[in-house]
Amino acid sequence: MNYDLIVIGGGPAGYLAAERAAEAGLKTMLAEKNTLGGVCLNEGCVPTKTLLYSAKMFDHVSREGAKFGIHAQGLTFDHPFVIGRKDKIVRSLVAAVRAKMKQHHVDVVNAEAKILGKDSEGFAVFAGGSEYKSRFLLVASGSETIVPDIEGLKASLTTGFALTSREALALKELPASIVVVGGGVIGLELASYYKAAGCEVSVIEMLGQIGGPTDTQIAANLQKNLTKKGIRFYLNAKAVKIQHGVVAYEQEGVTQEIACEKVIISIGRRAVTQGLGLENLGVETDRGAIKTDLTCRTNVENLFAAGDVNGKSMLAHTAYRESEVAVNNMAGQKDFMNYSVIPSVIYTDPEIGGVGETEQSAKAKGLHFIVKTVSMNYSGRYFAENESGDGICKLIVDEKNNTLIGVHMIGSYASEIIYGAALMVAAGFKIKDYQKLVFPHPTVAEIIREAMFI
């Protein structure tokens, strides 16, 4: 069967590419070996946010309720119910993606796809017992958890003592204690959920701060808040052995142990490139990820790669945009990625939103900049809704041009506000122009306006 486009992988990059391609009039086939929606819908963005919403509601009422005049007795957290609710939400959203594919007349093949090669007729792809041909090919095969070489880890994954994020999001019974190896975004979100649900939680992080490349001051603020909730952090620490209900870690040359019922491995993800048949086309890779340019093209003519598989920015919203850029270029419309204004969010409580340069990245690039930092309490709404909240909003401003080059905030609604900040950074207007913008009052977003005036 001949197509204009074959898409390998039905995650955010793959299903949106298929939808946009169909809208552009390309006859499209999508191969998905697992479940439509990919990691994001089935075991990533949506499941974590569903669990974290229950955690936030419970935590607010049980720990903070009295400060707001709410006195609840006999409150319990029903973990199996929360997991069941998450499964229902996921099922509905997966069905919605399936319906979208049908509505757009995308042929979905539920099978593993392998690239056989390319000739004058185009790409040849084998999936579900048949061979398909296409003019364009988009690889959107996503990413998988990195399993580091830690003594005892492989065996512990087999016995179920160690979990990846996939199993951690499907645990039917609540363990009494959990150690999370890796204090990046995913590790912190899982740690937050399990702490609120009632577990003892410890996080082992190799770096000197949590949250990966998050602004250092904001990462420290988050650590302080999560510590207040009872999560224990071990920084500059390395897990060295995982066995029999114990995780051993090394910190400043000393090895110590933490006893726990489960350990979650969350040190990062890597592109899925094995078994795709990339070698049959001579596709260039870089540290295991498919090499792409700003149009999402690879080194092979008419072969594109979008989403986690190109390893550039492993986020679902980046995957969405990359898939559009790829399809626009296939359809003859020039389009480019701008990786410098992709917002990043950590959905902990308090939550973090950031875009553009941080103080640290600006310094590393030798930029001349000033930092405008303001307490979130300057927003009337934040103050009303957060008893003893200590959120901050930081603007990174280019000194010479007086333009916004970064915005970073920690506090309620940061995840919802940050897209507006991204627009401001991308547009590149001067601070004096943004000072004329009218923000609705009272909103937490007003804090950006407030910061512009200091």
Ligand X SMILES: Cc1cc2nc3c(=O)[nH]c(=O)nc-3n(C[C@H](O)[C@H](O)[C@H](O)COP(=O)(O)OP(=O)(O)OC[C@H]3O[C@@H](n4cnc5c(N)ncnc54)[C@H](O)[C@@H]3O)c2cc1C
Contact positions vs ligand X (CB under 6 A): 8-14, 31-34, 38-40, 44-45, 48, 112-113, 140-143, 165, 186, 272, 276, 307-309, 314-317, 319, 347
Q: Which is nearer to ligand X, 125 or 395 (CB)?
A: 125
The identity of residue 391, as a single letter, is: G
Q: Which is nearer to ligand X, 65 or 268 (CB)?
A: 268
Contacts of 340 (CB under 8 A, 6+ apart): 356
- b (16+ CB within 10 A) / e for 390-429: ebbbbbbbbeeeebbbbbbbbbbbbbebbebbbebbeeee
Residue 15 backbone dihedrals phi, psi, to 5 degrees: -70, -35
DSSP string, 357-419: --HHHHHHTT--EEEEEEEGGGSHHHHHH-TT---EEEEEEETTTTEEEEEEEESTTHHHHHH
Q: Which is nearer to ligand X, 145 or 386 (CB)?
A: 145
Whole-number Cα distances in Å, 49 to 32, 53, 132, 238 = 24, 6, 37, 28
Whether the Cβ atoms of residue 154 and residue 342 lie closer than 8 Å to each other: no
Least Å distance, CB 46 to ligand X, is: 8
Q: Which is nearer to ligand X, 290 or 393 (CB)?
A: 290
Least Å distance, CB 414 to ligand X, is: 13
Q: Which is nearer to ligand X, 65 or 277 (CB)?
A: 277
Least Å distance, CB 180 to ligand X, is: 12
Least Å distance, CB 400 to ligand X, is: 33
Identify the burial level of 140 via C-beta atoms within 10 angstroms of its C-beta, where 0-12 means exposed, 13-18 middle and 19 or more buried: buried
Between CA 283 and CA 274 the distance in angstroms is: 12
- According to DSSP, the residues that pair with 76 across neighbouring strands are none
The alpha carbon dihedral of 15, 19, 21, 22 has a sign of positive
Least Å distance, CB 278 to ligand X, is: 10
H or E segment to which residue 228 belongs? helix 216-228
Least Å distance, CB 419 to ligand X, is: 12
Residue 408 annotated in active site: no
Between CA 356 and CA 254 the distance in angstroms is: 38
Least Å distance, CB 86 to ligand X, is: 12
Least Å distance, CB 175 to ligand X, is: 18
Least Å distance, CB 241 to ligand X, is: 25
Q: Which long-range contacts (CB under 8 A, 24 or more apart) does 34-37 make?
A: 34/10, 35/10, 35/94, 36/10, 36/94, 36/97, 36/98, 36/101, 36/108, 37/10, 37/11, 37/90, 37/93, 37/94, 37/97
Nearest Cα residue to 18 out of 319, 337, 334, 335: 319
Task: Supply the DSSP symbol for 31.
Answer: E
Between CA 257 and CA 250 the distance in angstroms is: 9
With vertex at residue 37, the alpha carbon angle to CA 32 and CA 42, rounded to the nearest 5 degrees, is 110
Whether the Cβ atoms of residue 306 and residue 291 lie closer than 8 Å to each other: no
Of 60, 244, 317, 441, catalytic: 441
For residue 60, what are its two tokens? Answer: 């607010």
- Hey, which residues are catalytic here? 441
